[in-house]
C-alpha cells in the first residue's frame, strides 16, 4: 500500500489538528482542537467532512474528553449531534466508549489512533476490490470528495480511482463540482492533481450530458449511511446521477466501509437527512448570488434506492445488486 501525504487529521500529544478544508485549495490551514467543543465546531462547521474523517474526528474528540476528565456520556452526545446523517460519527464514538470505558486516558488516545490507522487499511482494501471491476482505458465519473481528505488517508470512491489509475486503467476522471460547498471543484480536483490523474471538472448541471456524450464506464461515489436494505445516503446530487446512470446504461458503484451500514434502519426512508442554512445557496462566500430575502431549501444528502446500485464495495469485497439478504450476510463491523 503506497502511502499518501494527504491527511485531514493529526494527533499532537494532547490535542487534535484539523486541516481546514474550507480554505483548500488556496491555503493549507490547520485548526487546533483542545476541547470537545472545538471538535464539534470543526465537524458542524465543515472544516472536516467525509463520513470516515468525521468519525475519526469524533474518536479523537472522545480521547480529548478522557484526557480532560470530562463527562464522557455528555461529550459523546455533543459529538454525535454535530452532524446527524453520517453514521460513521456515532459508530466511532460508540466504538471508543465500548472499548475504552474504565481505562486510563492514554488508552482512549491509543484506540483513536488505532481506528485512524485501521481506516487507511480498510480504504485500501475497498479500493483494491473496486479497482478490479474497472476495465483498462476507462473514463469514470465521481461526485463530491471521497479521497484521502475525507478519510483516514487513502479514500473510498476516489481510492478506487487511485488504485485503478496506478494499474493503468483510468483514461480520465469526470469530476462534478458539487454545489454548494464545491467539494468536487476545490478538493477532488486538487487531490487528482496531486496524484497526476487526468480529469475534467464539470458543472453539476453538465453531468447528464457528459454521461451521454463522454460515456463513462462507471459512476463511482461514496456513502454517508447505508440502510439494511441497501438504500444509500450520500451527498446531494447522488440520486440524480444514479437515475441518469440507469437510464443511459452506465454502471453505478458505491464504495464505503462496512461501518457505514446502519443495520438498525430498515430502509432509506429512515435515514435522517441533514439540512443546512439556506445562505449556503444564496451566497458564494461573502458574495450574494440571489436576491435579498430569497428562500432556499438546502438538504445536504439524498437517498439512492438500492435497486439503482450495481455494486456496493466494502472492505469485505464487492456486492452486486446489494439488497437486504446480501447485507445481512456480511459480518457487521466491530463497535
> Which residues pair with residue 49 across a beta bridge?
none
For residues 141 and 146, what is the distance between their CA atoms, to the nearest angstrom?
A: 12
Provide the phi-psi class of 261: left if phi over 0, else alpha when psi is between -120 and 50, else beta.
beta
Q: How far apart are CA 284 and CA 206, in angstroms?
A: 20
Contacts of residue 98, defined as CB under 8 A and 6 or more positions apart, other chains included, come to 335
The 8-class DSSP code of residue 332 comes to P
CB proximity list for 299: less than 8 A, separation 6 or greater: 236, 273, 274, 275
Strand partners, 139: 172
Q: How far apart are CA 18 and CA 49, in angstroms?
A: 10
Out of 119, 224, 258, 262, pick the active-site residue.
Answer: 224
Cell of 60: 479523537
Catalytic residue status for 310:
no
CA distance 252 to 218: 6
Asked if residue 144 lies in contact with residue 221, where contact means CB atoms within 8 angstroms, the answer is: yes
Residues classed as catalytic: 224
Amino acid at each position: 500500500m503506497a502511502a499518501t501525504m494527504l491527511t485531514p487529521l493529526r494527533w499532537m500529544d494532547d490535542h487534535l489538528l484539523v486541516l481546514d478544508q474550507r480554505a483548500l485549495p488556496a491555503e493549507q490551514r490547520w485548526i487546533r482542537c483542545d476541547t470537545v467543543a472545538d471538535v464539534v465546531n470543526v465537524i458542524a462547521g465543515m472544516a472536516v467532512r467525509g463520513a470516515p474523517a468525521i468519525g475519526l474526528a469524533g474518536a479523537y474528540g472522545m480521547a480529548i474528553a478522557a484526557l480532560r476528565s470530562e463527562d464522557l456520556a455528555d461529550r459523546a452526545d455533543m459529538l454525535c449531534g454535530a452532524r446527524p446523517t453520517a453514521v460513521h460519527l456515532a459508530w466511532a464514538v460508540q466504538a471508543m466508549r465500548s472499548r475504552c470505558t474504565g481505562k486510563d486516558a492514554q488508552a482512549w488516545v491509543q484506540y483513536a489512533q488505532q481506528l485512524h490507522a485501521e481506516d487507511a487499511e480498510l480504504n485500501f482494501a475497498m479500493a483494491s476490490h473496486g479497482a478490479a471491476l474497472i476495465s483498462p482505458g476507462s473514463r469514470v465519473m465521481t461526485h463530491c470528495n471521497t479521497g484521502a481528505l475525507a478519510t483516514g488517508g487513502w479514500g473510498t470512491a476516489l481510492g478506487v480511482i487511485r488504485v485503478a489509475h496506478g494499474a493503468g486503467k483510468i483514461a480520465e476522471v469526470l469530476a462534478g463540482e458539487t454545489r454548494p460547498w464545491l467539494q468536487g471543484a476545490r478538493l477532488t480536483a486538487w487531490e487528482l492533481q496531486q496524484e497526476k490523474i487526468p480529469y475534467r471538472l464539470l458543472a453539476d448541471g453538465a453531468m447528464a450530458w457528459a454521461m451521454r456524450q463522454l460515456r463513462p464506464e462507471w459512476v463511482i461515489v461514496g456513502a454517508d449511511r447505508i440502510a439494511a436494505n441497501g438504500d444509500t445516503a450520500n451527498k446531494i446530487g447522488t440520486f440524480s446521477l444514479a437515475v441518469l446512470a440507469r437510464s443511459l446504461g452506465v454502471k453505478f458503484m458505491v464504495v464505503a466501509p462496512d461501518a457505514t451500514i446502519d443495520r438498525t434502519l430498515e430502509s432509506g426512508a429512515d435515514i435522517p437527512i441533514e439540512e443546512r442554512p439556506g445562505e449556503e445557496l444564496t451566497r458564494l462566500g461573502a458574495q450574494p448570488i440571489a436576491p435579498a430575502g430569497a428562500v432556499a431549501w438546502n438538504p445536504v444528502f439524498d437517498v439512492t434506492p438500492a435497486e439503482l446500485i450495481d455494486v456496493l464495495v466494502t472492505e469485505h469485497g464487492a456486492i452486486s445488486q446489494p439488497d437486504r439478504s446480501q447485507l445481512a450476510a456480511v459480518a457487521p463491523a466491530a463497535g
